[in-house]
Each structure stands twice: as structure tokens, then as C-alpha cells.
Structure 1
């Protein structure tokens, strides 16, 4: 029985037919999770074999229903240079993190996250950078620690990363993260608790992205304070990929190009962000996200749910707190109106 080092394997798993669990698609819009058409790499027998090998390991790793379509598995294999065991261990560590800290991962349908999406703190541009990478923007000025706890920001990251990584071109080319520090408030330093830093960096390190770079613009004195706190605990892998451009657009364009950026960053892609259109990229895929909710939270039919009573109690508690927080925000908005 294959075993993920950080999770106990199931002792009564039914036999799986790995040859039947394949999916061909190149983008999230074409993906239907749970369906198994022809292989993603139909003309590459070696890659197809590695995907099937990884699928068998994943489907037999523990008691939970796990996502195992080709496009999901390929993101880990590409990230790990097609080393099946390395990809499997990376997935196992991510599964373990989700099991131990479910409140940091999405566990509700997409409709439950519309209230944080509309704050436009994080979003993905409609055009790629000059290296074919998706551009993932974070606007620090739109963060409000009173409205968005650290877990909300983690959910936004996961929602948008799912959008980006369910695309083969992005898996191969990578992601450019554009961090706009203008308006960064000293109150936001309250996000940087030891626990938040530990879990957030673990999740970032385990994200299956082969190429990811961070481009910081409009930095401020407050940012220097944040860096002094955060930098020592960042992995070397992340540190080496952070680039500071301040307000030097020529420096930014040398890395990303101008065509995907709006005029506020010296680019040629309009004068500003069309937030409604950018969020619509994700909101149009509500059915896809609804299908994802079961993975890592739904047990296989033969499993005794009482074994995971504490785990599901934690999830229910997180959902209750999230619902209470949303209700409080809505009441505040109504009072202001």
C-alpha cells in the first residue's frame, strides 16, 4: 500500500482502474472535474504513464476523496520535473497542511467567497507577461484587517491560483506576482503573527508552480518594517524570486513587459483595471469550484466518519465563524447605507 509520509493510508481501499481516470483539457474553462476523457498528453506515452502512476498513488493514499484528473496531477509533475515520488510527497505535505489547518483552505462553494472577491484585493490580469506567465496582482491599499482576516486572503490566493494552474500553459510558464504596496498600512502588520507566517509560508512553498516571481512596486517605509519581520522566516526559494522595482516602470517592464499592464504601471493595457471583468474570469467558473469543495473534505464511502470527528468539527467551526463574520459585515454595510 503506498503511503504519504504525513498521512495515514486507508486500510480498506477498493481497487482502482488508473487507466480509466484520465482527462484531456488545457484550461479551467474546459475542465469538468470527475470526468475522464482521453489523456492530457495523448501523444506522449511517458508523461501519460507518469500521470497514471501518480494517480494510483493519490487515489490510494488515505481515506479522503482526492482530485486526480490529469490537469491537476500535471501541475505537481511539471513542478517536480516529472519525478513521480517527489510530486507525490509534495502533494502529501499539502494534504497534511489542509488536514491540520482546514480554515486556511477553501471549503465552500464559490458563491460564499464573492464578498471577498469584490474587495479587489487580489485578481489576475487578462493578459500574460512577456514570458507567457499569468500576472497575479495584490493591491495592499485594498486590504482591511478588520474586514479580511489572514484566512480570507489565503482563500483568495487559492481561488485565483486554482484559476491559473488549471491551465497547461501557466503550469509550464509560471506566475508573476505583482505586489503593489501603495497605501500599505501599519495596521496590516497585525497579519504577521508567528502562526500566520508559519502556515502562510508553508502553503506558498507547497504551491505546485515551477516558476514564480514576486515583483514589488510602490514600496514604502512601512514595507521595510514588514520585511524586517517577515524576511528571516521566508524560504530561500522565495527570497531569491523577490524583485523590488519601487516606482521604476522601466525596471518592471524589463521583467513583465508593457502590454499586459495598465497605464498606472506605465503599460499599454488600458488606463486602469476593469475589476468586474477580471473577477468575471473566475466567477464564470462557479460550477468548477463547486465540484472542488469535496476534495480533501469528503470521505470515501467505506470509511468510518467517526475517525475524523475532530477534523470535521474544526471545519464546521471555521464555516460558522466565517458565516458570522459575513453577517456582521453585511449589517455594518446596511447601517452605513
Structure 2
């Protein structure tokens, strides 16, 4: 039987019940069902602890069929996309450099209980850095974030895509095949993207976004918003006290947040080494 105990606030529990269909009985029954299914499935080497399984159940509002499909897709992706999920060593020079640049930066405070991350889409040099390594670093940090923040499973994530400095060379790193793979990952990961906010967008952003939207579900398309008028409209949806100074906020500098997550990556080197065993078994 499951040993999981809900340790968050009464308000969090009420939200989980009303929005995610997560009653005590449903949670216990669903955890046992998914564990049994995973243990009987020879094609998936999956994590069996309650918290990891709950991430998928909550993302699917405890629909067992959808949860199994999402878990299947997630572990298949980990096997079929080794350029993102294999050799995730934080001390590799290309990983270390991108983490220090801050390609994917979780913030320290929450907006309406949602975790906020800034994805700096053009801070890397496309002549030097591979887009696959950029995605790899983002997934590494997102995996750590999901491990340590259970509320992320319940309320989801707000992604701010900062497009400052984006160039044709950056856009060339994102052919439709790679965009399709990225969107598939968003829709099958263990946390739900609730808002996709694009800032510092060039005038031609809709050309690129339309390619992304072509692979999105209707629900995800409805969560995309582009801010053309600087940072003012971003602050209409994200409180200033959450944002770094460079984004018109008051919570330290962007480097403060970058340094925190670079340190956490390095400290988690062994965790990443062990995590690579969890994937689909390809025949």
C-alpha cells in the first residue's frame, strides 16, 4: 500500500480535490494501480515512488488511461531523445557553460502558487552552442525543480520566454522537426505549463510561434501570450516582487537566480547519474 501523506496546506489540499479530483481514496487507489501497471510492464524502467507517480496523475487529473499514456510517452522520450536525456553530467563543459549563462532560470517566489521560470531563448551563441544542449540543461533543471517542489505538480508552471537578442542564426537551430519534439516534451512532461509568456518578441515572432502552435493541443495554444510593449504588460500578469531587477522586479538580480541553480545542478551530479536508468526499453 502507498505510504504517501499529504503534507501541504489545507488550501492546497482543497485545490487538489476540487481541480485535480485528488481525494484520499482516489489517490491511494490510483497510486497502487499505476505502480502495478509499471511493475508488470517490461518495456518501462520507471520510478515507482509515490511522488513521481503523483506528478503524472495530477497532470492528468487522475484519469488513469491518460496517466498511463503520458507515462509511456515520457519514458519513451527519455530513450528516443538521448541528446536531451543521456550523459546529463553538470560538469560537462557545454552543460556547465549554458547553466552559467542562464538559459533556464527558475525564480524564487510563486505567482498564484505557480512556479515561474525564465527561459532565455537567445542568451547562447548559436555558432558555439547546440540547441540540443540548451534543451538538455532546461530539462535537467526542470527535473530538479519537480523533485523538490510538490506544489509544482498541483499548480503548474509559468514559463516566460525572453526573446531578447534572437537572431536568424537562433531561429535556424529550430527546424520544424525540433519544434515538434520540444512541444511533445512540454505536453508529456511531469509538470503542466499553465502560461507561456513571450517577451521582447521581434515583429516576426508570429511566424515562429505559428510553427510551435501547429504542434500544440488546443488547450496549450490558449495559454500562449505575446508581450510586444516591453515589460509593462508582463508585470500585469507577474508581480514585480517575484521578478529579477533586469525584468522590472525587486527580487535580486538574474545572476542571483542563475548562480543558485548552477550550484544545485553541480550538487546533483550523482542524482543525474542514477536518474538515467529510468527510461523505456527499446527493442
Which TM-score tier does this pair reach, normalised by the shorter chain?
0.7 to 0.9
Deviation at residue 122 of structure 1 after TM alignment: 1.4
1:255-310 Cα deviation digits (max 9, x unpaired): 2211110222221112443221232244333333232111117x7xxxxxxx84xx
- Pair 1:44–1:286, CA change in 2 (3 A): farther
Match of 1:212 in 2: 194
Greater length-normalized contact order (CA 8 Å, ≥ 6 residues apart): 2
Which residue of structure 2 lines up, in the alignment, with residue 255 of structure 1? 237
- Structure 2 counterparts to residues 299-314 of structure 1, below 5 A: 308=283
Does the Cα contact within 8 Å between 1:26 and 1:168 map onto a contact in 2? no
Tell whether the 8 Å contact from 1:134 to 1:164 is kept in structure 2 after alignment: no
Alpha carbons of 1:60 and 1:110: their partners in 2 closer, same or farther (altered >3 Å)?
Answer: farther
- The normalised TM-score by structure 1 is 0.70
Please point out which of 115, 134, 148 is paired with 1:134. 115
Which whole-Å deviations, capped at 9, do the CAs of 1:212-255 have from their partners, x for residues lacking one?
Answer: 21111111135344235444333323221111223443422222
Q: Which consecutive unaligned segments of at least 5 residues does structure 2 have?
A: 9-22
Q: 1:76 Cα deviation (Å)? A: 0.5
SS at match of 2:191: coil
Instruction: Tell me: CA distance 1:231–1:161, structure 2 relative to 1, closer, same or farther (3 Å).
Output: same
- Asked whether the equivalents of residues 123 and 278 of structure 1 are also in contact (C-alpha less than 8 Å), the reply is yes
Would the alpha carbon gap of residues 271 and 150 (structure 1) be closer, same or farther in structure 2, given more than 3 Å must change? closer
Q: Tell me, which stretches of 5 or more residues in structure 1 are unaligned?
A: 1-18, 28-42, 300-306, 309-337
Q: Using the alignment, how far apart are the partners of 1:22 and 1:103 within structure 2?
A: 35
Q: Flag the 1:82–1:230 CA change in 2: closer, same or farther, 3 A.
A: closer
CA deviation after TM superposition for structure 1 residue 25, in Å: 9.0
Q: TM-score by structure 2 length?
A: 0.82
2:275 to 278, 292, 295: 292
What is the CA–CA distance in structure 1 between the aligned matches of 2:123 and 2:143, rounded to whole Å? 22
Aligned length: 265
RMSD of aligned alpha carbons: 2.7
- Give 1:95 deviation, angstroms: 2.3
The structure with the largest alpha-carbon Rg is 1
Match of 1:69 among 31, 46, 49: 49
